Amino acid sequence: MKALPVVVAALVAVTVIRLALRGRGRGRSSPISLLVARLRGRRLLGDTGLVAGREIRERLRSLVFRVVTVILFAVVAAAVVIPAIHSGTTKSQRVAVVASSASLEAELHDLAKSVGLSVEFVNVPDRSQARAALSAGQLNMVVDGAGEILVKNPISASDTSAGARYVRAVSVTLGAQRAFAQAGLTPEQAATVANAKPLPVESIQPGKKARTAAAATALLGVILIFIVLTQYLTWTLMGVMEEKASRVVEVLLATVRPTQLLAGKVIGIGAVALAQAVALVAFALVLAKAVGSSLVHGAAPLVVAATLVWLILGYAFYSWLYAAAGSLAERQDQVQSLALPLSAPLIFGYIVSLTGVSSGNASLLVKVLAYLPPTAPFAMPTLVGFGEATWWQFMLSVVVSLVCTVVMAIVASRIYGTAVLQTGGRVRLRELVPTLTK
């Protein structure tokens, strides 16, 4: 069972690498080239669809895309599998009881549950055979009703594994019970003493909330959104810039309208981004299920859905901006001065949300940022992770983001239409003022 997730992850990684390498040789029969051939036959959305189709084909074919995909899958596999392996070393304890009684077995069962283990009782005819089974590694512990506990290896005081804690708990509890019996307590009195609960300790400052499974999922979601957005927005920017630099945009705009070209690019790259994100999430969910990770428990599926929704909305909002910025430049060095102001809101939203998730509290800042389209893609899934967003708050933020995206698309199309044909140095924003006020 321990090896299963590793095997699954390895299989996926090998498959992805094989796909990537096969495509490099331009083999006509690879699944990617079959997909390419199929996409080529379609003419959805007219010219916009053709442009989008080209973007999808070129992305799927690029080595950078394949390498990044392989790395992302590996990272997701590690993020899901490693914590699960750590948390659940041995789920079940094999225990043999000599001179057993029903109440003793019930006691052992309850104690196992209290340290997060289950217990499996093994029948042994006598003590010597129990010892033999223990030394052969078939048992974790032998409990003698007469008052003895056997384990194979000594348990050090610093061992905090569930198995060690179980042995200690059994030893303490059974010892106490024997003491109660020797003190002559009635079973009722013994039960009262045994069930003694510590007095609650209350602090006057609110403490950190324990991180729930949903918040942990939100953390992964926010990181995923950041990685995917950064990656694909950069591609949008560079893609537009390269079309301008290579002057192919002149040939294209001689027959296609600027808005169609821009929309095709945004949709094409966005489709690849979404497909990659969905594949990663699906992979993470299947893997989490297989290894029994907490990522799929409780409100986590809701957070997964919110993550995907905001990935789309975030990309839709920013892609226009990045495409318009790409149309201002025709060389890499001209992009540098644009990159920082563009990525600042992204990084800000990401850091604030990440800090919020790690601190265990949704700060007021996160709650505000959840309604601003540039930061909402990070802040809103964080709120969902904390269970602090009602459905109408979520929808409100979605609507605000959609409206702003439409405005952004209109402004970006105008900037793009003018700037992408303007060559000779970076286009200054003030040169575009007449275009925007037209």
Partner 1 sequence: MAGVLELDGLSRQYGAVTALDKLSFCVPSGQVVGFLGPNGAGKTTTMRAIFGLTDLDAGSVRWNGAPVGPAQRRRFGYMPEERGLYPNMLVAEQVEYLGRLHGMDAAAAAAATRRWLERLEVADRATSKVEALSHGNQQRVQLAAALVHDPGVLVLDEPLAGLDPTGIDVIGEVLVEQAHTGRCVLFSSHQLDLVEDLCESVAIIDHGRLVASGSVDELAATGARRLTVRVEGDRQGTWARAIPGVKVSEADGGEVRLVLDDSTSSDVVLDAARAAGRVTQFLFQRRRLSEVFREAVSR
Using CB under 8 A as the criterion, which residues of the chain lie in contact with partner 1 when the complex forms?
Answer: 26, 40-41, 43, 47, 50-51, 54, 58, 62, 242-243, 246-257, 421
List of residues 6+ apart from 300 with CB closer than 8 A: 213, 214, 216, 217, 294
Q: How far is the CB of 270 from partner 1 (least distance, A)?
A: 20
Closest residue by Cα to residue 72 from 342, 273, 215, 213: 273
The distance of closest approach from Cβ of residue 42 to partner 1 in the complex, given in angstroms and rounded to an integer, is 9
- Least distance (Å) from partner 1 to the CB of residue 214? 43
C-beta of 64: minimal distance to partner 1 in Å? Answer: 11
| Contact assessment for residue 216 and residue 294, using Cβ atoms and an 8 Å cutoff | yes
Least distance (Å) from partner 1 to the CB of residue 281?
Answer: 30
- Measured CA to CA, the distance from residue 408 to residue 418 in angstroms comes to 16
Distances (CA, A) of 397 to 123, 306, 328: 61, 12, 30
Q: What is the dihedral of CA 114, 117, 123, 127, to 10 degrees?
A: -70
Residue 54 or 109 with smaller CB distance to partner 1: 54
Taking the least distance from each CB to partner 1, the nearer of 32 and 286 is 32
Tokens of 325: 């910025």
State the minimum distance, in angstroms, from the CB of residue 34 to partner 1.
15
Q: Are 84 and 31 in contact (CB under 8 A)?
A: no
Q: Judged by CB, which is closer to partner 1: 117, or 249? A: 249
C-beta of 4 vs 251, nearer to partner 1: 251
Q: Are strands 141-144 and 118-122 parallel, antiparallel or unpaired?
A: unpaired
Pick between residue 200 and residue 434 the one whose CB is nearest to partner 1: 434
221 vs 243 by CB, closer to partner 1: 243
* Least CB distance to partner 1 at residue 414 (A): 13
* Nearest-10 Cα torsion for 224, 229, 232, 237: -160
Please tell me what DSSP assigns to residue 266.
Answer: H
Which residue, 127 or 426, has its beta carbon nearer to partner 1? 426
- The 3-state DSSP composition of the chain as helix, strand, coil percent (nearest 5) reads 70, 5, 25
* Pick 294 or 422: Cβ nearer partner 1: 422
Under DSSP, is residue 325 helix (H, G, I), strand (E, B) or coil?
Answer: helix
Quote the least distance from Cβ 411 to partner 1, whole Å.
Answer: 19
DSSP 208: P
The H or E element spanning position 122 is strand 118-122
